[in-house]
Structure 1
Amino acid sequence: MILTVTPNPSLDRTYEVPSLDRGEVVRATGERMDPGGKGVNVSRAVAAAGHRTVAVLPLGGAPGALVADLLAGQGIEAVPVPVTGLTRSNIALAEPDGTLTKINAPGPEITGEEAEALLAAVGERSAGADWIACCGSLPRGLGPNWYAHLVARAHAVGAGIALDTSGPALLAALREGPDVVKPNLTELSAAVRRPLATLGDALGAAEELRGLGAGSVLASLGADGQLLVDASGAWYGTAPAGAVRSDVGAGDASLAGFLIAGGTGPRALASSTAHGAAAVRLPGSAMPTPSDLVPSAVTVTADVPVDRRLGGPRP
Structure 2
Amino acid sequence: MILTVTPNPSLDRTYEIPALDRGAVLRATADRVDPGGKGVNVSRAVAAAGHRTLAVLPLGGPAGAALGGLLGAEGIEVVAVTVAGQTRSNISVAEPDGTLTKINATGPELTADESETLLATVGERSVGADWIACCGSLPRGLEPEWYAELVARAHRAGARIALDTSGPSLTAALRERPDIVKPNAEELSQAVGRPLATLGDAVKAAEELRAGGARAVLASLGADGQLLVDEDGAYFGSAPAVSVRSNVGAGDASLAGFLTAGGTGPMALAAALAHGAAAVQLPGSQMPAPADLEPSAVTTTDAVPLNRVLTEPVS
Q: TM-score, normalised by structure 2?
A: 0.99
Provide the secondary structure at the position in 2 that maps to 1:310: strand
Partner of 2:281: 281
- Deviations along 1:276-309, one digit per CA (max 9) or x if unpaired, are 0000000000000000000011000001011111
The aligned amino acid for 2:22 is R
Q: Deviations over 1:186-217 (max 9, x none)?
A: 00000000000000000000000000000000
Once the 2 structures are TM-superposed, how far is the Cα of residue 14 of structure 1 from its aligned partner?
0.4
Matches of 2:299 and 2:257, distance apart in 1: 15
Could you tell me which residue of structure 1 aligns to residue 115 of structure 2? Answer: 115
Given that 2:196 and 2:313 are in contact with CA atoms closer than 8 Å, whether structure 1 keeps it comes out as: no
* Structure 1 residue ranges, 4+ long, deviating more than 2 angstroms after superposition: 311-314
Are residue 128 (structure 1) and residue 150 (structure 2) matched? Answer: no
| 1:159 Cα deviation after fit | 1.6
Match of 1:150 in 2: 150
Matches of 2:272 and 2:157 in 1, distance apart? 25
Q: Residue 252 of structure 2 corresponds to which residue in structure 1?
A: 252
What's the counterpart of residue 6 of structure 2? Answer: 6
Preserved CA contact (<8 Å) 1:183 1:219 = yes
Does the Cα contact within 8 Å between 2:198 and 2:313 map onto a contact in 1? no
Pair 1:313–1:39, CA change in 2 (3 A): farther
TM-superposed CA distance for 1:312, in Å, is: 3.8
Distance 1:26 1:61 in 2: 29
SS in 1 for 2:311: coil
**Following the alignment from structure 1 to structure 2, what is the Cα–Cα distance between the partners of residues 74 and 246?**
20
Query: Displacement, 1:311?
Result: 3.0
Q: In 2, Cα distance between the equivalents of 1:240 and 1:286?
A: 19
Q: Distance in 1 between matches of 2:23 and 2:313?
A: 27
Q: Which amino acid aligns with 1:124?
A: E
Matches within 5 A, 1:6-45: 6-45=6-45
Q: How does 1:16-95 map to 2 (within 5 A)?
A: 16-95=16-95
1:217 is aligned to 217
SS of aligned partner of 1:215: coil
Q: CA RMSD in A?
A: 0.9
CA contact (8 A) 1:222 1:313 kept: no
Q: Give the deviation of 1:261 after TM superposition.
A: 0.3
- Aligned residue for 1:97, secondary structure, equals coil
Q: Distance in 1 between matches of 2:56 and 2:234?
A: 32
Letter in 1 for 2:187: E
Corresponding residue number in structure 2 for 1:161: 161
Residue 240 of structure 1 aligns with an amino acid whose one-letter code is: P
User: Would the aligned equivalents of 1:136 and 1:165 in 2 still touch at CA under 8 Å?
Assistant: yes
Name stretches of at least 5 consecutive residues in structure 1 with no aligned partner: none
**TM-score, structure 1 normalization:** 0.99
- Residues 49-107 of structure 1: CA deviation (Å, up to 9, x unaligned): 00000000000000000000000000000001000110000000000000000000010
**Do the aligned partners of residues 240 and 254 (structure 1) sit closer, same or farther apart at CA in structure 2, a change above 3 Å counting?**
same
Q: CA deviation at 1:313?
A: 9.6
Q: For the residues of structure 2 that align with 1:51 and 1:309, how far apart are their CA atoms?
A: 37
Q: Secondary structure at the match of 2:69?
A: helix
Q: Secondary structure at the match of 1:203?
A: helix
> Which residue pairs with 1:106 in the alignment?
106
Equivalent pair of 2:12/2:35 in contact (CA under 8 Å): yes
**Structure 1 contact 223–313 (Cα < 8 Å) conserved:** no
Secondary structure at the residue paired with 2:62? helix
Q: Whole-Å Cα distance in 1 between the matches of residues 90 and 313 of structure 2?
A: 20
Q: Equivalents in 2 of 1:300, 1:158: separation in Å? A: 31
Quote the Cα distance in structure 2 between the aligned partners of 1:208 and 1:240: 28
User: Per-residue deviation at 1:158?
Assistant: 1.3
Distance 1:20 1:313, change over 3 A: farther
What whole-Å deviation, never above 9, does each CA across 1:102-158 have from its counterpart, x for those lacking one? Answer: 000010000000000000110110000000000000000000000000000111221
Q: Which amino acid is 2:23 matched to?
A: G
| Alignment partner, residue 238 of structure 1 | 238
